[in-house]
């Protein structure tokens, strides 16, 4: 069996698979194909090799979900095994220096066209690639084509990208402006037929790559036979490439439709839960949490992907910048309304191989929680979040989704804004909290094993929640007087209200987590004493430690504070309040050196404490700032000045 090394989602139904096949990779040439079989009862399916890496020992296939077999293949994931991959098969593409060559690729036909374009270019040809698809999201490998060809022309049926029109219009445009010596066409049979009719009119030799019905793929069965120039040929051994002007396309199209009615009947196997799992595991019964659950199938059918991607990304409701810059504890982001959340949830395509989950550090089932919001089951969405995340309301506010889950969203490949996963996570968690129906995750039977967690910041709380779900007896030790760590002392309430953090902590307590404050492990009690008290494991989540200074003259002067100190005074100790005993310096002109989230928290806090001129001084450009884009935006709106490319010494 052949292992899937990597899987990339091009569009809703198009995937790129890198497959372990060292012998095939070593022998493969442009134009070759393989026969693939998924499952012991699976169909043999021909797929042209899009690329090969002899060093890694892999081949690349681009597959579109069309029927039962291709759908089963696309449902496999990285690390799964394909039952059989046989090849390379067929004749390699004939490559020589023809002169000027037009390569027309339609849909997934662009993938097998890429190695041909590369080989033609290496042979000295001027290569013009015409890429076509029904819509923008079906244009694949554009970047690779632009790197390989002299010119790339994009055509889409609906005009959503490139020029509106058919592939033949793009090809004819080139023919009319310059002499074309050769044409290659790969794509749907009907597309290749009309390209050949066009090039025949202009007397331009044209090769096509045919993907017909096959069984064995070695010339034994004859299922792939077609008529070329009045003679019968076998695609698997004589092709797959032929003189397009000699192909009987009408006969070929009829033969390709021979099993369509049977294929339609067979597709019910997927709907009934016979979707392919990791080979060789047996198919499992679909449950309500599965992507193939009836309610999710119905949601996917309710709207076309094109309609979903046309919905603009929701904008977060915010407090007025002038007002909020004087309000220390009112949250800037006001959250989504239920109507906004339901609309944003519709943007999710419920991908078969969701990249967003790969970008999530705690592996939240992101499509499932979003689809629960779409169908109005918001409490169920919150439960889904809690299966793997102990702090959904916190993470929905302060996690850098733009660098994690949202950075993997399929919408980005379509040049669209990603689904607002963070906003939806916050919405579901807040909705549950405000409803009063706060759920506790399923807890396994208590095993009696004691675990100590040192530190109650986000890492400690998340670990405590996970271990509690597994039945461990968890105690969290915190050195400060408040549970929450950086969530309390570091992040201002205008970004993360304490009441939100407290609800998350209370939920952990309901799960059985014990909290001990004002206890410094190593000082108050030692690790040896923890062991004597029966703790079998210790998780150290003590945080990042001391702040870093620049070692420059004057940095130890009065009113020079680290952000750690400043934020702890204001946030944890509430030093800005008149009834607080903890002092904090106030200044009319304040400079914050740095460009991360902590710097933004500090400078925005100074504005709320009455600073007239608040500045960020950063030694690199704004684009290089590690702070979240949203934080920079909010700071600017609140009147903060940015002095970038400035060094303090």
Q: Could you tell me the CATH number of the domain that includes residue 472?
A: 3.50.50.60
Whether residue 109 is contained in a domain is answered as yes
Is the same domain home to 518 and 638? no
Tell me the H-state helices in 136-273.
142-148, 167-177, 189-201, 235-238, 249-256, 260-266, 268-271
Neighbours of 64 (CB within 10 A): 20
Distance of alpha carbon 212 from alpha carbon 218, whole angstroms? 13
Provide the token pair at 125. Answer: 């040809």
- 535 neighbors 450 (Cβ within 8 angstroms): yes
Domains: count for the chain? 5
Pick from 223, 172, 166, 207: nearest CA to 43: 223
Provide the greatest CA pair distance for the chain. Answer: 97
Is the same domain home to 467 and 373? no
Is the same domain home to 516 and 569? no
Range of the domain at 329: 294-349+366-386+396-428
Pick from 74, 81, 94: nearest CA to 32: 94
Q: Is 301 left (phi over 0), alpha (psi -120 to 50) or beta?
A: alpha
pLDDT at 280 > cutoff 50: no
CA distances from 435 to 233, 340, 431 (A): 69, 18, 6
pLDDT of residue 261: 54
Provide the token pair at 33. Answer: 């194909």
Neighbours of 416 (CB within 10 A): 18
CA distances from 344 to 85, 351, 374 (A): 41, 15, 8
Express each pLDDT in 355-366 by its tens digit.
Answer: 999 999 999 999
Whether residue 245 is contained in a domain is answered as no
Provide the token pair at 36. Answer: 């693939």
Is the same domain home to 572 and 488? no
Pick from 482, 504, 505: nearest CA to 571: 482
Q: Where does a domain end: 540, 573, 600?
A: 540
Whether residue 592 is contained in a domain is answered as yes
Whether residue 271 is contained in a domain is answered as no
Is the same domain home to 298 and 424? yes
Quickly state the pLDDT bin for 273 (edges 50, 70, 90): very low
Residues present in the chain in total: 649
Range in 230-234, 355-359, 628-632 the model is least confident about: 230-234
- 228 neighbors 243 (Cβ within 8 angstroms): yes
Tell me the H-state helices in 511-577.
527-532, 563-567
Range in 235-239, 284-288, 374-378, 583-587 the model is least confident about: 284-288
Distance of alpha carbon 432 from alpha carbon 383, whole angstroms? 9
Is the same domain home to 62 and 150? no
Distance of alpha carbon 261 from alpha carbon 415, whole angstroms? 37
pLDDT of residue 438: 92
Quickly state the pLDDT bin for 325 (edges 50, 70, 90): very high
Q: What is the DSSP pairing of strand 450-454 with strand 535-540?
A: parallel
Is the same domain home to 470 and 411? no
pLDDT of residue 279: 41
User: Token match 């809703």: residue?
Assistant: 12
The stretch 160-170 carries a mean pLDDT of 92
Residues 6 or more apart whose CB falls under 8 angstroms from that of 50 comprise: 16, 60, 61, 62, 111, 112, 114, 115
Query: For the domain that residue 370 is a member of, what is the CATH number?
Result: 1.10.1060.10
Distance of alpha carbon 609 from alpha carbon 649, whole angstroms? 27
Whether residue 115 is contained in a domain is answered as yes
pLDDT of residue 394: 96
- The rounded percent of the chain whose pLDDT value lies above 90 is 66
Is the same domain home to 515 and 602? no
pLDDT at 98 > cutoff 80: yes
Tell me the H-state helices in 105-257.
110-122, 142-148, 167-177, 189-201, 235-238, 249-256
Looking at per-residue confidence, does 293 or 213 come out higher?
293
Is the same domain home to 324 and 299? yes
Q: Is 350 left (phi over 0), alpha (psi -120 to 50) or beta?
A: left
Query: For the domain that residue 199 is a member of, what is the CATH number?
Result: 3.40.50.80
Whether residue 38 is contained in a domain is answered as yes
User: Token match 């033949």: residue?
Assistant: 168
pLDDT of residue 593: 96
Q: What is the pTM of this model?
A: 0.59
Is the same domain home to 491 and 610? no
pLDDT at 598 > cutoff 90: yes
Query: For the domain that residue 13 is a member of, what is the CATH number?
Result: 2.40.30.10
List b or e across 334-364, with b for residues whose CB sees 16 or more CB atoms inside 10 angstroms: ebbeeebbbebbbbbbbbbbbbbbebbebeb
Residues 6 or more apart whose CB falls under 8 angstroms from that of 639 comprise: 321, 325, 607, 614
Whether residue 58 is contained in a domain is answered as yes
pLDDT of residue 445: 94
- 336 neighbors 424 (Cβ within 8 angstroms): yes
Looking at per-residue confidence, does 29 or 538 come out higher?
538
Is the same domain home to 534 and 580? no
Tell me the H-state helices in 123-166.
142-148
DSSP 629: H
pLDDT of residue 227: 87
CA atoms within 13 A of residue 515's CA, in its CB half-sphere: 23
Distance of CA 339 to the CA centre of its chain: 25
Distance of alpha carbon 439 from alpha carbon 146, whole angstroms? 52
Burial class (CB in 10 A: 0-12, 13-18, 19+), 454: buried
Whether residue 224 is contained in a domain is answered as no
Is the same domain home to 303 and 422? yes
Q: Where does a domain end: 66, 89, 112?
A: 89
- 571 neighbors 492 (Cβ within 8 angstroms): yes
Neighbours of 106 (CB within 10 A): 24
Angle at 360 between CA 359 and CA 362, to 5 degrees: 145
Neighbours of 183 (CB within 10 A): 27
CA atoms within 13 A of residue 568's CA, in its CB half-sphere: 12
Which range, 226-240, 245-259, 562-576, has the best average confidence (pLDDT)? 562-576
Pick from 84, 149, 108: nearest CA to 16: 108
E-assigned strand segments in 66-161: 81-82, 84-89, 100-106, 126-133, 151-156
The stretch 443-455 carries a mean pLDDT of 96
Q: To the nearest 10°, the Cα dihedral for 465, 466, 472, 474?
A: -30
Distance of alpha carbon 406 from alpha carbon 370, whole angstroms? 13
Q: Is 274 left (phi over 0), alpha (psi -120 to 50) or beta?
A: alpha
Express each pLDDT in 486-503 by its tens digit.
Answer: 999 999 999 999 999 999
Quickly state the pLDDT bin for 152 (edges 50, 70, 90): very high
Query: To the nearest whole number, what is the mean pLDDT of the chain?
Result: 89
pLDDT of residue 222: 60
């Amino acid at each position: 069996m052949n292992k899937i090394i990597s899987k990339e989602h091009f569009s809703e139904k198009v995937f790129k698979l890198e497959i372990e096949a060292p012998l095939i990779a070593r022998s493969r040439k442009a134009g070759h194909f393989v026969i693939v079989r998924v499952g012991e009862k699976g169909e043999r399916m021909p797929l042209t090799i899009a690329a090969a890496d002899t060093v890694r020992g892999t081949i690349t296939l681009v597959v579109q979900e069309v029927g039962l077999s291709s759908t089963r293949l696309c449902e496999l994931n990285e690390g799964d095994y394909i039952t059989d991959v046989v090849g390379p098969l067929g004749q390699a593409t004939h490559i020589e220096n023809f002169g000027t060559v037009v390569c027309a690729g339609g849909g997934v036909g662009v993938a097998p066209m890429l190695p041909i374009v590369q080989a033609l270019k290496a042979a000295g040809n001027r290569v013009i690639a015409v890429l076509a698809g029904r819509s923008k999201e079906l244009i694949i490998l554009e970047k690779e084509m632009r790197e390989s060809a002299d010119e790339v022309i994009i055509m889409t049926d609906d005009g959503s990208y490139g020029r509106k029109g058919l592939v033949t219009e793009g090809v004819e445009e080139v023919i009319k402006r310059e002499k074309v010596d050769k044409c290659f066409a790969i794509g749907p049979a009907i597309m290749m037929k009309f390209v050949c009719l066009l090039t025949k009119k202009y007397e331009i030799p044209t090769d096509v790559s045919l993907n017909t019905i096959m069984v064995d793929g070695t010339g034994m069965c004859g299922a792939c036979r077609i008529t070329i120039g009045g003679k019968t040929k076998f695609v698997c051994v004589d092709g797959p490439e032929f003189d397009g002007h000699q192909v009987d396309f009408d006969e070929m199209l009829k033969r390709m439709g021979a099993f369509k009615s049977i294929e339609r009947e067979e597709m019910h196997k997927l709907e009934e839960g016979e979707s392919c799992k990791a080979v060789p595991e047996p198919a499992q019964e679909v449950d309500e949490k599965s992507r193939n659950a009836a309610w999710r199938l119905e949601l996917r059918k309710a709207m076309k992907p094109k309609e979903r991607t046309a919905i603009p990304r929701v904008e977060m409701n915010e407090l007025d910048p002038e007002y909020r810059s004087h309000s220390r504890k009112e949250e800037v982001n006001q959250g989504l309304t239920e109507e906004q959340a339901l609309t944003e949830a519709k943007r999710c395509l419920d991908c078969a191989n969701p990249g967003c989950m790969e970008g999530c550090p705690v592996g939240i089932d992101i499509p499932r929680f979003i689809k629960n919001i779409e169908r109005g089951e918001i409490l169920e969405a919150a439960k889904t979040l809690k299966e793997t995340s102990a702090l959904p309301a916190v993470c929905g506010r302060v996690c850098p989704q733009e660098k994690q889950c949202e950075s993997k969203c399929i919408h980005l490949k379509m040049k669209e804004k990603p689904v607002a996963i963070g906003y939806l996570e916050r919405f579901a968690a807040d909705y549950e909290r405000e409803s009063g129906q706060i759920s506790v995750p399923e807890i396994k039977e208590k095993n009696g094993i004691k675990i100590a967690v040192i530190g109650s910041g986000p890492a400690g709380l998340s670990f405590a929640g996970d271990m509690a779900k597994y039945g461990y007896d968890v105690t969290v030790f915190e050195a400060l007087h408040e549970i929450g760590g950086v969530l309390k002392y570091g992040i201002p309430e205008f970004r993360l209200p304490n009441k939100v953090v407290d609800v998350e902590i209370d939920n952990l307590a309901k799960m059985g987590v014990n909290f001990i404050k004002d206890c410094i492990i190593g000082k108050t009690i030692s690790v040896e004493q923890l062991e004597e008290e029966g703790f079998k494991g210790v998780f150290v989540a003590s945080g990042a430690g001391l702040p870093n200074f620049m070692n420059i003259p004057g940095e130890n002067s009065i009113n020079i504070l680290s952000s750690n100190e400043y934020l702890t005074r204001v946030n944890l100790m509430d030093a800005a309040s008149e009834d607080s005993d903890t002092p904090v310096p106030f200044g009319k002109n304040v400079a914050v050196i740095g460009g991360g989230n902590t710097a933004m928290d500090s400078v925005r806090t100074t504005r709320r404490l009455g600073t007239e001129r608040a500045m960020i001084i950063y030694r690199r450009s704004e684009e290089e700032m590690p702070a979240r884009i949203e934080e920079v935006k909010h700071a600017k709106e609140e009147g903060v000045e940015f002095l970038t490319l400035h060094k303090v010494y």
